[in-house]
């Protein structure tokens, strides 16, 4: 049921995409919500419609069926209501870190000097102090993601949609970024919807995790994560963490055809089977 606490609420959302005129059912009767201030992750086999679901929430795509409410109201036009960040940082190579960060504010019509002031206030929190005048090519992968994140956060949306934001980073940087995001989220009090293929990441960060079936994506499992907050990376060794992860991996593996080698796409699955919970190197 919808209630005003729900930042975003979807009921019975379906979507068919077309390739060369041929219909491809991508999502089927998906029910989903994220409450105000909640951290929700979506996991599922590759191609099951996770990004399509985020695109629908963001208003970049319209569903073929179902209902969507935003902040307790019908939201036929949702474009611009949420901040959206992709795996690719999408920084503009000809703009400095500072000027990339203020892009969203500039689009909103905020004067450059005011936009710069707001961005400078957050540079430290995003680990970018001293790099304001650098161009993206001079930054590490993690720094580029934080710069893209800063741009998303500066746009001041209550709902942030993150599509595999750490997917392209090496394992160690990803862990640092996850801890950094935990810290940031706990102080920002935003609602976050994260698409990830990393089960550890989903459990460590989330209040709830949605598991989607193989395409057409349907909600297969909604798993509450009651680990205490603030969370720390070393919790991945806790029995409670491992049990939650086992439940999610089992649910995902049921969706995976062995011939597709799908386990390779589920970081953490192989380690779990071999009794270790370390992030794969
Ligand atoms: P996921 O994020 O779970 O990997 P996507 O939502 O990106 O899945 O895509 C779901 C399916 O829809 C995939 O099979 C993909 O190839 C297809 N698809 C994605 N975007 C389009 C599009 N614009 N037109 C047609 N098919 C698409």
What is the DSSP code string of 27-88?
Answer: EEEEEEEEETT-EEEEE-STTSSHHHHHHHHHTSS--SEEEEEETTEE-S--TTSEEEE-SS
Decide: 256 in ligand 1 pocket, CB within 6 A. Answer: no
Tell how far the Cα of 134 is from the centroid of ligand 1, in angstroms.
Answer: 35
Residue 150 lies in a domain: yes
Give me the pLDDT at residue 170, please.
Answer: 85
Going from the Cα of 58 to the center of ligand 1, the distance in angstroms, rounded, reads 16
Residue 20's region, left for phi above 0, alpha for psi from -120 to 50, else beta, is left
pLDDT score for 58: 93
pLDDT digits (tens, 9 = 90+) for 31-89: 999 999 999 999 999 999 999 999 999 999 999 999 999 988 887 788 888 999 888 87
The pick from 49, 193, 265 for probing ligand 1's pocket by mutation, whose C-beta has the most ligand atoms within 8 angstroms, reads 49
178 shares a domain with 242? yes
- Give me the mean pLDDT over the 157-178 stretch: 89
**Distance, CA 35 to ligand 1 centroid (Å)?**
26
Is 49 close to ligand 1, i.e. is its CB under 6 Å away?
yes
Helix/strand/coil for 93:
coil
Could you tell me if residue 278 is inside a domain? no
CA of 254 to the centre of ligand 1 (A): 21
Query: Is beta strand 65-70 parallel, antiparallel or unpaired with respect to 39-43?
Result: unpaired
Asked, for residue 281, whether it belongs to a domain, the answer is no
DSSP 201-221: HHHHH-SEEEEEPSSSB-EEE
SS3 of 224, please?
strand
The pLDDT value recorded for residue 257 is 56
| CA-163 nearest atom, ligand 1 | 2
Is the CB–ligand 1 distance for residue 60 below 6 Å? no
Q: Which tokens is 143 given?
A: 């720094």
Do 191 and 158 touch, CB atoms closer than 8 A? Answer: yes
Q: Does the beta carbon of 87 sit less than 6 angstroms from any atom of ligand 1?
A: no
For range 190-215, the mean pLDDT: 96
Residue 253 CA, ligand 1 centroid: distance in Å: 20
Do 111 and 16 lie in one domain? The reply is no
Ligand 1, atom 14: nearest CA belongs to which residue?
47
Angle CA 249–146–126, to nearest 5: 120
Question: Which among 105, 136, 156 is the end of a domain?
Answer: 156
Looking at the fold, whether 58 and 162 belong to one and the same domain comes out as yes
Instruction: Give the integer Cα–Cα distance in Å for 64 and 149.
Output: 31
> Among 123-132, 203-212, 255-264, where is mean pLDDT lowest?
255-264
Phi, psi for 32 (deg, rounded to 5): -155, 145
Residues 122 and 252 occupy one common structural domain: no
Please check whether residues 149 and 224 belong to one and the same domain.
no
* End-of-domain residue from the set 113, 139, 156: 156
Q: Which residue matches tokens 């801890």?
A: 179
Atom 21 of ligand 1, nearest CA residue: 17
Confidence of residue 275 (pLDDT cuts 50, 70, 90): very low
Arithmetic mean of pLDDT over the chain: 88
Q: Tell me, yes or no, whether 177 and 118 share the same domain.
A: no
Note the pLDDT of residue 139.
93
CA of 15 to the centre of ligand 1 (A): 11
Rounded CA gap, 22 and 34, in Å? 33
Q: Measured from the CB, is residue 110 less than 6 Å from ligand 1?
A: no
Q: Does the pTM of the predicted model rise above 0.75?
A: yes
* Residue 219, domain extent: 6-81+157-273
Tokens (6 digits) for 11:
């009921």
Structural domain total, the chain: 2
């Amino acid at each position: 049921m919808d209630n005003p606490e729900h930042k975003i609420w979807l009921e019975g959302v379906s979507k068919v995409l077309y390739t060369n005129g041929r219909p491809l059912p991508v999502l089927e009767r998906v029910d989903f919500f994220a409450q105000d201030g909640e951290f929700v992750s979506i996991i599922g086999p590759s191609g099951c419609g996770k990004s399509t679901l985020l695109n629908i929430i963001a208003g970049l795509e319209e569903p073929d069926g179902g209902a969507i409410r935003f902040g307790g109201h019908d939201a036929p036009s949702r474009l611009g209501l949420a901040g959206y960040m992709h795996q690719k940082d999408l920084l503009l190579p000809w703009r400095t870190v500072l000027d990339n960060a203020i892009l969203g504010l500039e689009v909103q019509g905020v004067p450059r000097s005011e936009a710069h002031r707001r961005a400078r206030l957050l540079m430290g929190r995003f680990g970018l102090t001293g790099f304001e005048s650098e161009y993206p090519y001079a930054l590490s992968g993690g720094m580029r993601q934080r710069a893209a994140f800063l741009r998303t956060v500066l746009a001041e949306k209550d709902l942030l949609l993150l599509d595999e934001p750490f997917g392209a980073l090496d394992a160690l940087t990803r862990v640092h970024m996850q801890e950094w995001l935990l810290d940031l989220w706990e102080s920002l009090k935003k609602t976050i919807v994260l698409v990830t293929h990393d089960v550890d990441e989903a459990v460590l960060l989330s209040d709830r995790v949605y598991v989607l079936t193989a395409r057409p994506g349907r909600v297969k499992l909604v798993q509450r994560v009651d680990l205490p907050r603030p969370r720390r990376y070393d919790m991945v060794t806790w029995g409670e963490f491992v049990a939650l992860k086992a439940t999610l991996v089992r649910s995902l593996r049921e969706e995976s055809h062995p011939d597709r080698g799908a386990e390779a796409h589920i970081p953490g699955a192989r380690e779990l089977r071999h009794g270790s919970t370390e992030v794969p190197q």
